[in-house]
Amino acid sequence: MTSQHETNEAPFRHRFVVNDPRIAYLDGNSLGRLPQATKDRIQQVVSQEWGEDLIGSWNRSWLPIAKRIGDKIASLIGASPGEVMVCDSTSINLYKAAWALLQRRGNRKTIVTDAANFPTDLYILDGLRQQLGSDLRLEPLVLDQSDHSQVNRALADAINDDTALVCLSHVNYKTGYAFDLPGVTELAHGKEAPILWDLSHSVGAIPLDLGNAQVDAAVGCTYKYLNGGPGAPAFIMIRGDLIRELSNPIPGWFGAANPFQFGAIYEPASGIERFAIGTPPILSLAAIEPGVDLTCEAGMMMLRQRGWGLMQQFFQLYDERLQSLGFRLETPRHQDSAGSHVSLSHKDAWQITQDLIHTYRVVPDFRGPDIIRFGITPLYTLASEVEQAAFAMEASVTQGTFRSHPKQARGVT
């Protein structure tokens, strides 16, 4: 199904299942495509390792997976081997990392975050604020996310000697704004505050160098740009010198130094494994690896170069065809302050989204109240898909086809 042209343009596209090439799938930042190799891997895990080898597969195959994939993800984000582990969900990992860093807060009382952060991050931080004592405050900053200078100035004003933790999503899930990760990390460290980054919307799309920035901790998602599969376990990264200083609020047996000695007293593992909790869901865990391998094979520099080329193409189509039709570009145009998705707002965004999907075979995401979000996944997104999306939006509005779709019902997304 993949033409020679597509292969030249997106050299990894043929490594993914593309069932219907007429569909422009621009939602890889919500659920990445299925790598071809993953089908075989799952078949092997289910039929051979579970079905035939049964319990013996824990020692032979399964126990090393979480850390092995963690090490591969470490290479994608500039962390060191042994600093990253795959386990649980992003929400749970954020809870663990934030809880652990907040244990060292001393008299500091403020958690600095972004008011436009992904909801689960705000919920978890607010939950910890309530749990850890009435003296803690959550300070969600309202930031004008257009360029680094303004955002960094606002953060510099907010981070001070009272800051117990800075917790931000590197790329905003809605606007696509990418924080100045090294700069903001330096701001936090300048006030001796630890920083925790949620990399869900940047890992696999943007080169990262957490080691160089000396980031304290990070979490992130594997089912978006890493193509790990629906709801695949997330990762947690803790800077090497901090691992032994931090503890896990949920001391389960898989975080113990010797889980299979069944000791009555919890002794945490000395390495990043101490942030594991219970038995990992092996089918979903094993499914992550082929997508991560493809990302490693492609290399983050090549991926960002391709991805940014597609982003620029989108911006140009916006200028030429969409700006005059009531669309507004919400994503920054500068490579150092943008992630890998393009967000456009429009007063009829909900109906246009429905129209794109059902009339024009274009799959974006709607994010209320008025945003249409297009994910650029450099491993497989084609220039023709970007074009199809822009042309479809133009046609939907100029021909008024979006009006055939009902307005958004309350509570539906």
Residue 329 beta carbon to its own copies: minimum distance, rounded to whole angstroms: 20
Token pair belonging to 129: 């604020």
Peptide bond into 64 cis (omega under 30): no
Q: Of 1-9, 222-230, 332-340, 382-390, which segment contacts its own copies by CB under 8 A?
A: 222-230
Residue 30 beta carbon to its own copies: minimum distance, rounded to whole angstroms: 6
Which position among 197, 223, 225, 314 is part of the footprint of its own copies (CB under 8 A)? 223
By the rule CB under 8 A, 123 interacts with its own copies: yes
Residue with Cβ nearer its own copies (33 or 148): 33
Residue 53 beta carbon to its own copies: minimum distance, rounded to whole angstroms: 9
Give the integer Cα–Cα distance in Å for 111 and 245.
20
User: Catalytic: 224?
Assistant: yes
Token pair belonging to 124: 């978890």
**Which among 27, 71, 88, 198 is annotated as catalytic?**
198
Strand 235-238 versus strand 217-220 pairing type: antiparallel
Question: CB–CB of 138/111 below 8 Å?
Answer: yes
Instruction: Say whether 160 sits in a helix, a strand or coil.
Output: coil
Residue with Cβ nearer its own copies (239 or 373): 373
Residue 355 beta carbon to its own copies: minimum distance, rounded to whole angstroms: 16
Question: CB–CB of 361/396 below 8 Å?
Answer: no
User: Catalytic: 366?
Assistant: no
User: Catalytic: 118?
Assistant: yes
Question: CB–CB of 129/110 below 8 Å?
Answer: no
Instruction: Say whether 386 sits in a helix, a strand or coil.
Output: helix
By the rule CB under 8 A, 360 interacts with its own copies: no
Which position among 3, 7, 44, 47 is part of the footprint of its own copies (CB under 8 A)? 47
Question: CB–CB of 327/398 below 8 Å?
Answer: no
Which position among 9, 21, 37, 126 is part of the footprint of its own copies (CB under 8 A)? 126
User: Catalytic: 321?
Assistant: no
Map the footprint of its own copies across residues 190-209, applying CB under 8 A: none
99-118 footprint of its own copies as x/- string (CB under 8 A): ----------------x--x
Residue 259 beta carbon to its own copies: minimum distance, rounded to whole angstroms: 8
Q: Of 52-60, 237-245, 388-396, 399-407, which segment contacts its own copies by CB under 8 A?
A: 52-60
Q: Which of 29, 21, 17, 44 is nearest to 287 (CA)?
A: 44
Give the integer Cα–Cα distance in Å for 47 and 290.
18
Instruction: Say whether 204 sits in a helix, a strand or coil.
Output: coil
**Which among 373, 374, 380, 402 is annotated as catalytic?**
373
Which position among 229, 290, 307, 332 is part of the footprint of its own copies (CB under 8 A)? 229
User: Catalytic: 365?
Assistant: no
Residue 382 beta carbon to its own copies: minimum distance, rounded to whole angstroms: 16
Token pair belonging to 372: 């249409």
Map the footprint of its own copies across residues 294-353, applying CB under 8 A: none
# residues contacting its own copies (CB under 8 A)? 79
> Angle 388-394-399 (CA atoms, 0-180°, nearest 5)?
120
By the rule CB under 8 A, 31 interacts with its own copies: yes
Question: CB–CB of 278/253 below 8 Å?
Answer: yes
By the rule CB under 8 A, 246 interacts with its own copies: no
Residue 126 beta carbon to its own copies: minimum distance, rounded to whole angstroms: 7
Q: Of 208-216, 313-321, 360-368, 376-384, which segment contacts its own copies by CB under 8 A?
A: 360-368
Paired residues of 329 in beta bridges: 344
Residue with Cβ nearer its own copies (65 or 178): 65
The one-letter code for the residue type at 266 is: Y
Residue with Cβ nearer its own copies (30 or 396): 30
Token pair belonging to 409: 């019902």
C-alpha of 64 from chain center: 23
Alpha carbon separation from 11 to 1, 239, 369 (Å, rounded): 14, 34, 36
**Residues marked as catalytic:** 118, 198, 223-224, 373
